[in-house]
């Protein structure tokens, strides 16, 4: 039964429904493999005993009508899980046990899934390499000493290492798509308002979205169908008719118009990324799609805009961690001193840096020059996309400007770390859906991803295009299991 | 526009994050490099552009004025670092 962990989510669902395998079989296989993969440091909290008990409970009284019947799943530790510790990768939440469940994880359990554990991430999802976590950095299964990307780095690593059949991440500026690209997996950020933000530890509320991370596009459609829902507990949740992403998935993309934005050909982009992009265009042409050159002229302003908007919102969201309500406190001489000491010792360096950037751009005398300016440029960036989508059905770009880098390589230079998200951030600013699919390897055999960007609420459109490309690309992720003793 | 050490100390005070002199110097360097990069936005004329505050351009929904969460006090208070069962406890504020 050792090959259970090689099956995709869709295959597992099929085999469990045909009673070829049980939930207990699947769960115990994943637990065993996770236990021998500690070197990757993917889990912050393991709930293996409960998972096994729940799988036995499922097998005793199975419900095969569910979309994820008895399937064990580990999730990013940014989702609040009732009575299970939720840290967001931060010391300030190291003892926080929520009394409520996030809507997205509740949707998983309602569909029959079983919690395997909580996965490592950058602290408060602020990072692109999973090196800012209080619980240590995560290693990528792709190669020793390589980052898995971030902030959903533990999720990407656990998925690629086959420690969970699928997972969910969150994406504020690329935190699902960039780690998916680095680890040869599929990651989708839905349209803003598609998945509920209720119970997700907030980073930048106008940008945050939950999304699926899976081994292939079919799995991605299935998981999106489960987690996307209208939720009155999230004031920006949007009430639209959600398609059956999984059953509606098809490869009929003949005549689809795909835009290639010239501004994404950035200075110093490695030749192998250029080549990857060219190959992507060829695959699409072979599928019957039409390639159209487009312009997204404000692209180069997206990252600076993001680094005003996101820290501003974060400084406000993270004001709640004051040593009073969430378990961690450092005593001081008075109330203010207690606040300052708690936050100084409870937050890591990157989080403090971003809170301070956000506080500065919102402070008296600077609000117009920075925050208001950024909101205006955000409008221009969104206008670019609106205009482009008058001409095309979807947009094809590389997911990242390079393949994964080594642990420690970019930690001393914040701006060079931020540049990782150059192709993913504009999508969050405009609230659009984006998917990264594995599309090739670089000279070191590290995975490279291509991104498809869709019109608002057209997840089905980009899933179908990704599904068609996936067949042509025929990417195979081979890890040697080097981390298993 | 450069951020000096005095400004760093002021922002840290506003952020309620204590910062020692060594960290303040490091932050001064980091923040200046980040803001130098951010100031690229000034190349753009945005005089007649409406700011985009939210992608979800819908008005906030109203709901009935009903209590939906009941008996959650214990759940909420259990994460308090210090509690007396009924309240969050903080250092004395009023003399």
d(CA A14, CA A58): 16
The reply to whether B52 touches chain A by the CB within 8 Å rule is: yes
Contact indicator for A429, A309 with CB cutoff of 8 Å: yes
Task: Split chain B (95 residues) into runs of 10 and give each run's mean pLDDT.
Answer: 91 97 94 93 96 82 87 88 84 84
For residue A151, indicate whether it is catalytic. yes
d(CA A249, CA A467): 8
Q: Which two tokens stand for residue A130?
A: 């999973």
> What are the start-end ranges of the E strands in A96-232?
114-119, 167-171, 186-189, 209-214
- CA dist A420 → A129, A174, A269, A394 (Å): 9, 9, 12, 22
Chain segment A153-188, per-residue pLDDT in tens: 999 999 999 999 999 999 999 999 999 999 999 999
Its pTM surpasses 0.90: yes
User: In chain B, what are the domain boundaries?
Assistant: 5-43
User: DSSP assignment, residue A108?
Assistant: H
pLDDT at A205: 95
Q: What is the mean pLDDT of residues A246-272?
A: 95
| Residue-averaged pLDDT of chain A | 96
Instruction: Give B5-43's CATH code, choosing from 1.10.20, 1.10.3720, 2.60.40, 1.10.3470.
Output: 1.10.20
pLDDT at A1: 44
Chain segment A201-222, per-residue pLDDT in tens: 999 999 999 999 999 999 999 9
The reply to whether B34 touches chain A by the CB within 8 Å rule is: yes
Q: Which residues of A touch B40 (CB under 8 A)?
A: 300-301, 304
Q: Which residues of B touch A347 (CB under 8 A)?
A: 17
- Predicted ipTM beyond 0.90: yes
Of B41, B81, B88, the CB nearest to A304: B41
Chain segment A22-60, per-residue pLDDT in tens: 999 999 999 999 999 999 999 999 999 999 999 999 999
User: DSSP assignment, residue A243?
Assistant: -
> Who's near A92: CB < 8 A, 6+ residues apart?
A321, A326, A328, A342, A343, A346, A347
d(CA B47, CA B61): 32
User: In chain A, what are the domain boundaries?
Assistant: 2-259+391-473
Second CATH level (architecture) for the domain A2-259+391-473:
Alpha-Beta Complex (3.90)
Alpha helices in B1-95 (DSSP H): 5-14, 21-38, 73-77
pLDDT at B1: 65
């Amino acid at each position: 039964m050792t090959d259970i962990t090689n099956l995709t989510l869709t295959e597992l669902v099929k085999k469990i429904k045909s009673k070829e395998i049980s939930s207990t079989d699947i769960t115990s296989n994943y637990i065993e493999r996770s236990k021998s993969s500690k070197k990757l440091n993917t889990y912050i909290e393991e709930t293996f005993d409960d998972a096994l008990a729940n799988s036995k409970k499922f097998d005793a009284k199975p419900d095969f009508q569910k979309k994820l019947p008895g399937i064990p799943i580990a999730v990013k530790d940014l989702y609040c899980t009732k009575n299970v510790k939720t840290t967001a990768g931060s010391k300030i939440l190291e003892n926080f046990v929520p009394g409520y469940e996030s809507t997205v994880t509740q949707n998983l359990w309602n569909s029959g899934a079983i919690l395997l554990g909580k996965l490592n991430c950058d602290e408060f999802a602020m990072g692109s390499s999973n090196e800012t976590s209080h619980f240590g950095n995560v290693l990528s299964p792709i190669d020793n000493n390589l980052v898995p990307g971030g902030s959903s780095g533990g999720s990407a690593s656990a998925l690629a290492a086959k420690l969970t059949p699928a997972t969910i991440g969150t994406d504020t500026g690329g935190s699902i798509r960039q780690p998916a690209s680095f680890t040869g997996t599929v990651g989708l950020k839905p349209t803003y308002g598609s998945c509920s933000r209720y119970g997700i530890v907030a980073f930048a509320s106008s940008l945050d979205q939950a999304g699926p991370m899976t081994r292939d596009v079919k799995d991605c459609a299935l998981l999106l169908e489960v987690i996307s829902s209208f939720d009155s507990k999230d004031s920006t949740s949007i009430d639209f008719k959600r398609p059956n992403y999984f059953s509606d998935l098809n490869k009929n993309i003949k005549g689809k118009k795909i835009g290639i934005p010239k501004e994404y050909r950035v200075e110093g982009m490695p030749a192998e990324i250029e080549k990857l992009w060219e190959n992507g265009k060829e695959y699409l042409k072979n599928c019957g799609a039409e390639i159209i050159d487009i312009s997204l002229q404000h692209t180069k302003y997206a990252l600076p805009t993001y680094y005003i908007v996101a820290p501003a919102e974060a400084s406000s969201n993270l004001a709640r961690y004051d040593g009073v309500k969430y378990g961690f406190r450092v005593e001081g001489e008075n109330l203010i001193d207690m606040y300052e000491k708690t936050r100084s010792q409870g937050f890591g360096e990157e989080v403090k840096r971003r809170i301070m950037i956000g506080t500065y751009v919102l402070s008296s005398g600077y609000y117009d020059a920075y925050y208001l300016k950024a909101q205006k440029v955000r409008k221009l960036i969104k206008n670019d996309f609106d205009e482009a989508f008058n001409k095309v059905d979807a947009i094809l770009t590389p997911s990242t400007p390079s393949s994964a880098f080594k642990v420690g390589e970019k930690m001393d230079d914040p701006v060079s770390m931020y540049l990782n998200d150059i192709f993913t951030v504009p999508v969050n600013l405009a609230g659009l859906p984006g998917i990264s699919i594995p599309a090739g390897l670089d000279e070191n055999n590290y995975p490279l991803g291509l991104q498809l960007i869709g019109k608002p609420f057209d997840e089905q459109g980009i899933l179908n295009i990704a599904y068609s490309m996936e067949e042509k690309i025929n990417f195979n992720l081979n890890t040697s299991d080097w981390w298993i003793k | 526009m450069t951020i000096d050490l005095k400004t760093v100390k002021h922002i840290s005070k506003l952020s309620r994050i204590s910062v020692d002199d060594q960290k303040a110097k490091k932050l001064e360097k980091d923040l200046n490099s980040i803001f130098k990069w951010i100031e690229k936005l000034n190349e753009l004329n945005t005089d007649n552009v409406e700011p985009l505050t939210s992608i979800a351009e819908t008005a906030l929904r109203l709901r009935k004025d009903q209590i939906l969460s009941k008996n959650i006090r214990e759940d909420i208070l259990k994460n308090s670092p210090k509690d007396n069962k009924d309240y969050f406890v903080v250092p004395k504020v009023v003399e």
